[in-house]
Each structure stands twice: as structure tokens, then as C-alpha cells.
Amino acid sequence: MFVDRLLASALCGFARALTGVRALWLGSEPDARPRVYFANHRSHGDFVLIWASLPPPLRRRTRPVAGADYWLTTPLRRFLINRVFRGVCIDRRPGRSGPNPVAQMGEALTAGESLILFPEGTRNMGDGLLPFKSGLHHLARAHPEAELIPVWIENLGRVMPKGSLIPVPLLCTLSFGPPLAPIDGESRDAFLARARTALLDLAPPAD
């Protein structure tokens, strides 16, 4: 356990040093209540940057939601996601027969922990956002006690472009927005559109 925490601290320090990340809390503040931080997705390092930007007491109670098809494929990745990041690994394969992903995520929220979630479902190598998967909606309905906090990640996809082995020195910014307030009777599509808009509202203006 001590070694795991020491490695986690070292990885957080490396991520902050590499990216010079700034965390901007715009309408929300760090809080110990169960939360779902939902963000845009450009790199496998996205959740590390969010995780590293949280105060240490919150970081220890915040778990990334990660694709099992990537993170469970090598011993090193399995060690990092299971022991260091304490991730919730989701089977994203079509026709999966394993645990229900919403139930897996819900167990963490019920235990008083928070999650880092990427509702696009995969990395987006273009501009803007891909359509959101329905998991965020199902999770919000099953766990109304959890705050939904949008987080826009700016520049990380340029620091580590896909296929690159050498990081490009650029400053990254995380913008944490206000909680997404629930609306009684809201449809799935309306909720997902509103969540997507809340995230896009945090993006910097286009050049």
C-alpha cells in the first residue's frame, strides 16, 4: 500500500511537471462528496491529469473509469490501473457477458467515492466532442446523490499526440465547471445534450 501511494505521488508530480497543468474551478470547488467528473477524451493520460489536479485527500477517493481492453492487456498496465489508480475497469466489447458497467461504477459512488468518466466512450482525435454514450445518464439516474462536474481538458492531446513517444512541452488547463443540476422527468437524449453543452461551454473560444 505504501509503495502504491508513493508511486501514485511520483506519477502525479511527473504529470504536473510535464504539462504545467492549471486547474481552474469555475462554478465548483474541491469537495469530498461523491462526484462524477466527466470530461472530453483525447489521450490515455486524460484521467491522470484530472486525478493529479485534485487535492491528495480527494485523489485517494477518486477512481478513473477505464477500458479493460486497454488497461488489462499487460502486467504493467494492470498494476497501474488496479493498484496505483484503483480504476473501475469496464468491458467495452459488444455482446459482453461480464458485470454491468453502471453497477460497477455505482458501487464506488455508494461507497462514498468519486469517479472520472469520459462519456464519449473513446478518444476523440478531432475537434469538439463525439456524441455521448448513455452510461452517464443511467449513472445519474441511479445515483442522484452524486454531483456531476464537467471538466474540459485543453492541450493534453497535443502534449502526447497519438503514436508519439516524446512529449511536446505545452501548458495544459483543466476547467472544472458548475455541477449539472438534475431536472425531473428529463429524457435521456435531453440530459445527454445538456451535459454535452455544459462541457463544451468550458472549452476556450476557437481561434
Q: What is the CATH number of the domain that holds 85?
A: 3.40.1130.10
Residue 65 lies in a domain: yes
Q: What percent of the chain has pLDDT over 90?
A: 51
Say if 53 falls within a structural domain.
Answer: yes
Q: Does a structural domain hold residue 207?
A: no
Identify whether 177 is part of a domain.
Answer: yes
Q: Which of 206, 147, 207, 136 is nearest to 181 (CA)?
A: 147
178 has pLDDT over 90: yes
175 phi and psi, to 5 degrees? -110, 110
Q: Give the model confidence (pLDDT) of 54-105 as tens digits.
A: 998 999 999 999 888 888 989 999 999 999 999 999 987 766 667 889 999 9
Answer yes or no: is 44 within a domain: yes
Number of domains in the chain: 1
Q: Is 50 exceeded by the pLDDT of residue 164? A: no
Q: Residue 198's pLDDT is what? A: 96
> Percentage of the chain with pLDDT > 70?
87
Specify if 205 maps to a domain: no
The answer as to whether 97 is a domain residue is yes
DSSP E strands, 3-137: 22-25, 35-39, 62-67, 88-90, 114-117
Banded model confidence at residue 32, pLDDT cuts 50, 70, 90 = very high
Task: Evaluate whether residue 48 is within a structural domain.
Answer: yes
Domain of residue 55, residue span: 2-200
Q: What is the reported pTM?
A: 0.89
